[in-house]
Structure 1
């Protein structure tokens, strides 16, 4: 299991053990983390699972695909560390990952 900390815009933290192989989005949805709606169910067809990856973890979460970049065009408040959480696969190497949710997703 990898412990992932989801931080809502208001600072509320949710530290959750997520099984490797799931996505960061699936970990949030299965544990009712508010602010990650995942309207498309993880198909990279919306931007309702937008998160900011903590700077210390950006390199470890992998590169954005062209499709992910395209979907992020529909998200509000996109930053250099913005990712769609459905596109980040959980591995043991992500134990301790911190993601923050944008204000627009509360």
Structure 2
């Protein structure tokens, strides 16, 4: 993490296209790190950071789903605007935290 960057929320989850990993919200960015799990000893290791999106590049955030709930956001990337959908435990809390950080992204 950079100087002045604080972790707000972090959760082991799954993204629709990328797969399993850990979603992290800081006061500066949203990041998603792939994980590798082993069933033999129930261990889990961080893999590559596959998403590292500054909050200034996030254009829209919402939640969706009835049975399988997801927190979603659209962001500007090198490939153009992309949408990401994460199956997190408490979508309402994630949405509130992301919206709060988007409102404070000038700090």
User: If the length of structure 1 is used for normalisation, what is the TM-score?
Assistant: 0.31
- Say which structure is richer in strand: 2
Higher relative contact order (CA 8 A, sep 6+): 1
- Say which structure is richer in helix: 1
| Greater Cα radius of gyration, structure 1 or 2 | 2
